Structure 1
Amino acid sequence: MLAGIYEHSPWIAEAAIGARPAQGYASLAALKRALVEVVQAAPRERQMALICAHPELAGKAMQADALTAESTNEQNKAGLTACTPEELQRIQQLNADYRARFGFPFILAVRGPRGDGLSKAQILATFERRLANHPDFEFDEALRNIHRIAELRLNDRFGYTPAQGNAAWDWLEQLAQFSEPPYAERGELTVTYLSEAHRACAQRLSHWMRESGFDDVSIDAVGNVVGRYRPAQDGAPYLLTGSHYDTVPNGGKYDGRLGIVVAMQAVARLAHAGRRLPFGIELVAFAEEEGQRFPATFIGSSPLAGRFDPAWLELRDAQGISLREAIQGAGLSVSGIAGLARNPADYLGYVEVHIEQGPVLNALGLPLAVVTSINGSLRYVGEVAGRASHAGTTPMAARHDAAAAVAEWMLAIERRALGDGDSVATVGMLEVPNGAVNVIPGRCRFSLDLRAPTDAQRDALASDVFKELERICQRRGVSHTVRETMRAAAAPSAPTWQQRWERAVAALGLPVHRMPSGAGHDAMMLHQILPQAMLFVRGENAGISHNPLESSTSDDIQLAIDAFSTLLEDAVQQPR
């Protein structure tokens, strides 16, 4: 059954079979993970041999009809066995360039994230993009693609189709057809709050919720799409879930939206079986989370938590339209916002599924992770002031270089955060006003973003880095000013709901990986009134997010749907 799953490398299957538990692997997902772990534990030389065992795309082996049956099927699905002479020449040149740079063949899972084949244009674009990668990264990326190839071959071998994952993946593709100008004309995805594309998304989500079996579907006063699947008994509490459907400019298809479609598929499974649970399920597709149109975030989820600030109604977008005017212009009711606040006594809690938006799961080869906390954050802007002077005539020991002071401080920040568990620190903006090539910088402006799983850890990090800034400035004879621009509290996961996610992941036969969320989510807002916990889903392309390359596979989405369904069953068996 496992012959040919990993190209010309039977040692992988042999090791996984030798290590299998006495009762066998619990699931196909568990078998896939066991095979991945064999490769991860292998020495680099054997990993390199595995990579080199794969044929080049549309290479000599294909032309000589010497591919394995599996490779022939995969390259055929991508159209590589029917290239024009010009396409063949381009691919062969890319193959040569890639091998010259990295020393091994270009490996790509050409059947793609849904398993039905990438287009030749997508393959060529990926080829060209990956030529710019660092060799170590590209080595790991080759292995990741090999595991995806193996996953699809295992699906074929065992007759497995991630049907709900495919359906959810298709929904995300279809939802991405709604974008606003001028991005739509460039094939880019941008959906900002209450734009025409945004309202079209709301209508489509409403339609899908009804199709999925939700009993009541509506669009509320701020544009949230709300679906309710009623409990077995009237008056029973609800489990709240959701995520956002707005995007950043030229963003990805999965950020926020993945959590909406996963929940819809889980409810569709219940509705198809004719099942009602002891609690209802309320899904909210939040209208705004990204803060792209107006200088406010969580416009969608803040009213549910009773945290909507009425002063926001007077905020204006780049065209001078106020939030009040935008809401009224969309046919929504400003007067209804106050009534959106949820009564915590009516709910069991809040759970959210979200694409990871980072590289951790992709690097570990894991499809899912349980979130332990949404990091608390602090943001600052500041400036170091020194003395501008002639770059040629001022001795090094006599300088008061503002930029050098900030540079030294940046390295100190990096060291401090590296030694602090899951804390992160970023100086994202640097500016030397009126800088010149022959002038020692007299001023240097900067931003600072600090995040940590707990507020105490975050505050200790801030205290230490600013003490270090003071020491550096005193030693270098410069001064500094700093202003705090944002403070957000950490949102630790509720133990009961985190444990339910953990049991759901374990039930799939997967190792339970726990990690904090460095990004903010609607769960932060609901955390203020309800116990909450999140599940992360692996992203492809090194987990990139807020980017058109943001992606996930239908297999990983299927696992998230299965985990969500298992969490529901767990809540039935072990109510609050």
Structure 2
Amino acid sequence: MALTFEQLNTADVTQATELLDGIYEHSPWIAERAMAARPFKSLAHLKYAMAHVVNTADKQAQLDLIRAHPELAGKAMVSKTLTAESTNEQSKAGLTNCTPEEFARIQQLNADYNQRFGFPFILAVRGPRGVGLPKQEIIDTFARRLDNHPDFERAEALRNIHRIAEIRLNDKFGFEPTLGNDVWDWQERLAQHTDPGYEELGQLTVTYLTEAHRACAQRISHWMRDCGFDEVEIDAVGNVVGRYKGAQDDARYLITGSHYDTVRNGGKYDGRLGIFVPMACVRELHRSNKRLPFGIEVVAFAEEEGQRYKATFLGSGALIGDFKNEWLEQKDADGITMREAMQHAGLCIDDIPKLQRNAADYLGFIEVHIEQGPVLNELDIPLGVVTSINGSERYVCEMIGMASHAGTTPMDRRRDAAVGVAELALYVEQRAAQDGDSVATIGQLNVPNGSINVVPGRCLFSLDMRAPTNAQRDAMVKDILAKLDEIAKRRGLHYKAERSMSADAAPSAPEWQKRWERAVDALGVPLFRMPSGAGHDAMKIHEIMPQAMLFVRGLNSGISHNPLESSTSDDMQLSVDAFSHVLDQLAAEHA
């Protein structure tokens, strides 16, 4: 019989600890200490309380916990001395049925890992969906993590232990993240469509108006109809738009969504999570035959990444009247203009101006998005409320010195362009760190025609500078450009710096941010506020109406724009629950 929160909250500490026996391997002290956080108001609250006990324990206690876990396909499995929970997990991942070659490979990895780190390799082998990881993915992850720093790997082991505990708690309470599973499955199925040349490599790449891109649009539109949207269309730039009407015909709409295009060899969840979370909410409203005092418009934006054409945020930009006609004559790598691509896709270019939305018809815009960074993952917090989307500036630069012989030019007579940029790179790192939440990067660094025995006379480099407010960004840009000038003069160099992009910060509308905060708090999840370092469709919609975003924790250090991008169906379930809570708040406000 499933455990209930009434049982857990009313039992004495000893009884409550026994009720949670086996959640953390051979470590009842975790459940015992977590009882100080009672009464638990949700499963998410309990999960965090137990994780917090571990994360605030001393290093030795953490190591003891890690070492309490068995090796994967190790001696305990062979001798059948695994706990029932571990046996179930390793069985679901197929580790109890390895081929001799797989078994030998895992044994070698176990030995190498233990020698390097001094504790067993820990992986939540039931995976982000809870159904078990493929054996090859387990082996690949094992090998990849061997290269991690010991401190990072200890933290990664604990994060996987928390995921193991989460799944065990789900089992104990009889909980299934049904809607989170559906959202996860939608993303997996959509990822079956990928551009030619990448499909053969097993890579996900969906660029604007390719065959795979159009297939994604069709798939999303069909799912929207299945969910019960009243109107579904693919508009003049390829956005997929679904509308679920409000209780009154003249009701305003809440607009939400994200993009379905990807970077090359990207991940399955960037953008797409923000399409499927509201779709799941609309489907539940439709199943309940429920209408709200406002309508819901979900937009799967056709283009955000700028991979095929230099027209970033094309999909969301069209909705605010920011589609530039000169984009139509841009050519992709194969010489195909955007106009030709649109015509081939059957889009009506003349209708693009009609896509501009009247802000008066809308309440505002909200967007759910995978974090694309390590912060929530490191904190073991599933959701983050976005305070602002960073403003950014980018520069394409060149440092110019004098090329000379590396052997015959004395050190005090050199005009080394690369060393000048290296000095700037150190300053860039230091200056951004002064603000705490500013970031700055030299992502491209190139010595044209460089030679091992030549002092570099030219160095090409980029500057990317971002901050939560325009004022903070501008101050950092000013300081970095001033340092560039100072370094060049002191070293006898000169430079060129051309600004290639500037985007204003998009602070969240306070009332919309508070709605997300109330939703997160109601779920029993710790409230964590954070800026977004990456750009999102929300920053375009921000130009005409209030907006606010919710971040969802990613796995693998929150990596994004990468095949390792991932999140769990449990965290996706929480994002659906939070979105539904915001809908309920709005319904109460407009009743």
SS at match of 1:485: strand
Q: Which residue of 1 aligns with 2:372?
A: 357
Q: Which residue of 1 aligns with 2:447?
A: 432
**Which residue identity does 2:37 align to in structure 1?**
R
Q: Distance in 2 between matches of 1:536 and 1:261?
A: 14
- Assess if the C-alpha contact under 8 Å between 2:206 and 2:261 holds in 1: yes
- Assess if the C-alpha contact under 8 Å between 2:238 and 2:347 holds in 1: yes
Match runs of 1:129-140 below 5 Å: 129-140=144-155
Q: Residue 9 of structure 1 is aligned with which of 27, 32, 35?
A: 27
Q: Which residue of 2 aligns with 1:523?
A: 538
Q: Does 1:244 align with 2:255?
A: no
**Which residue identity does 1:349 align to in structure 2?**
G
Q: Which residue of 2 aligns with 1:559?
A: 574
Q: Does 1:126 align with 2:144?
A: no
Q: Which residue of 2 aligns with 1:499?
A: 514
Q: Which residue of 2 aligns with 1:334?
A: 349
SS at match of 1:114: coil
SS at match of 2:266: coil
Q: Distance in 1 between matches of 2:458 and 2:534?
A: 31
Q: Distance in 2 between matches of 1:180 and 1:109?
A: 31
Q: Does 1:256 align with 2:274?
A: no
Q: Which residue of 2 aligns with 1:280?
A: 295
Match runs of 1:34-433 below 5 Å: 34-433=49-448
Q: Distance in 2 between matches of 1:248 and 1:66?
A: 46
Q: Post-superposition shift, 1:403?
A: 1.0
Q: Distance in 1 between matches of 2:100 and 2:339?
A: 59
Q: Distance in 2 between matches of 1:575 and 1:392?
A: 77
- Assess if the C-alpha contact under 8 Å between 2:293 and 2:590 holds in 1: no
| Identical counterparts, % of pairs | 67
Q: Which residue of 2 aligns with 1:459?
A: 474
Q: Deviations over 1:261-284 (max 9, x none)?
A: 101001111111111110000000
With normalisation by structure 1, the TM-score equals 0.98
Q: Distance in 1 between matches of 2:418 and 2:246?
A: 61
- Assess if the C-alpha contact under 8 Å between 2:403 and 2:416 holds in 1: yes
With normalisation by structure 2, the TM-score equals 0.96
Q: Distance in 2 between matches of 1:111 and 1:319?
A: 43
Q: Distance in 2 between matches of 1:290 and 1:505?
A: 29
**Which residue identity does 1:558 align to in structure 2?**
Q
Q: Which residue of 1 aligns with 2:9?
A: none
SS at match of 1:529: coil
Q: Distance in 1 between matches of 2:358 and 2:313?
A: 18
Q: Post-superposition shift, 1:60?
A: 0.4
Q: Does 1:450 align with 2:473?
A: no
Q: Post-superposition shift, 1:575?
A: 4.2
Q: Post-superposition shift, 1:395?
A: 2.2
SS at match of 1:106: coil
Q: Which residue of 2 aligns with 1:545?
A: 560
SS at match of 2:160: helix
Alpha-carbon RMSD: 1.0
SS at match of 1:75: helix
Q: Deviations over 1:468-525 (max 9, x none)?
A: 1122222222112211111111111111111100111011001111111111111111
Q: Post-superposition shift, 1:434?
A: 2.5
**Which residue identity does 1:9 align to in structure 2?**
S
Q: Residue 37 of structure 2 is aligned with which of 20, 24, 48?
A: 20
Q: Deviations over 1:364-403 (max 9, x none)?
A: 1111001111111100011111222222222222222111
Q: Post-superposition shift, 1:117?
A: 0.4
Q: Post-superposition shift, 1:85?
A: 1.9
Aligned residue pairs total 573
Q: Post-superposition shift, 1:421?
A: 2.2
**Which residue identity does 1:343 align to in structure 2?**
N
SS at match of 2:385: strand
Q: Post-superposition shift, 1:574?
A: 2.6
SS at match of 1:253: coil
Q: Distance in 2 between matches of 1:434 and 1:130?
A: 36
Q: Post-superposition shift, 1:50?
A: 0.5
SS at match of 1:94: helix
**Which residue identity does 1:20 align to in structure 2?**
A
Q: Post-superposition shift, 1:354?
A: 0.4
Q: Distance in 1 between matches of 2:176 and 2:153?
A: 29
Q: Distance in 2 between matches of 1:273 and 1:424?
A: 46
SS at match of 1:448: strand
SS at match of 2:331: coil
Q: Distance in 2 between matches of 1:85 and 1:311?
A: 61
**Which residue identity does 1:30 align to in structure 2?**
H
Question: Gaps (5+ residues) in structure 1?
Answer: none
- Assess if the C-alpha contact under 8 Å between 2:440 and 2:463 holds in 1: yes
Q: Post-superposition shift, 1:572?
A: 1.6
